[in-house]
Amino acid sequence: MIRELLLGILLAICAAEDQKTGRLRLSVLAIFAAAGIACFIILQPFGLWEGLSGLMIGLLFAALSLITEGKIGMGDAFLIAVAGIYLGGWESAALTMGALFLSALFGVVRIIQKKADRHTEMPFVPFMLASFLVTRFI
User: How many domains does one find in the chain?
Assistant: 1
Of 35, 120, 23, residue with least CA distance to 78: 23
95-118: average pLDDT: 94
Residue range of the domain that includes 54: 2-137
Q: What is the pLDDT of residue 137?
A: 84
CB 126 within 8 Å of CB 14: no
Q: What is the pLDDT of residue 63?
A: 96
Of 40, 43, 70, residue with least CA distance to 55: 40
The per-residue pLDDT for range 40-94, each reduced to its tens digit, is 999 999 999 999 999 999 999 999 999 999 888 999 999 999 999 999 999 999 9
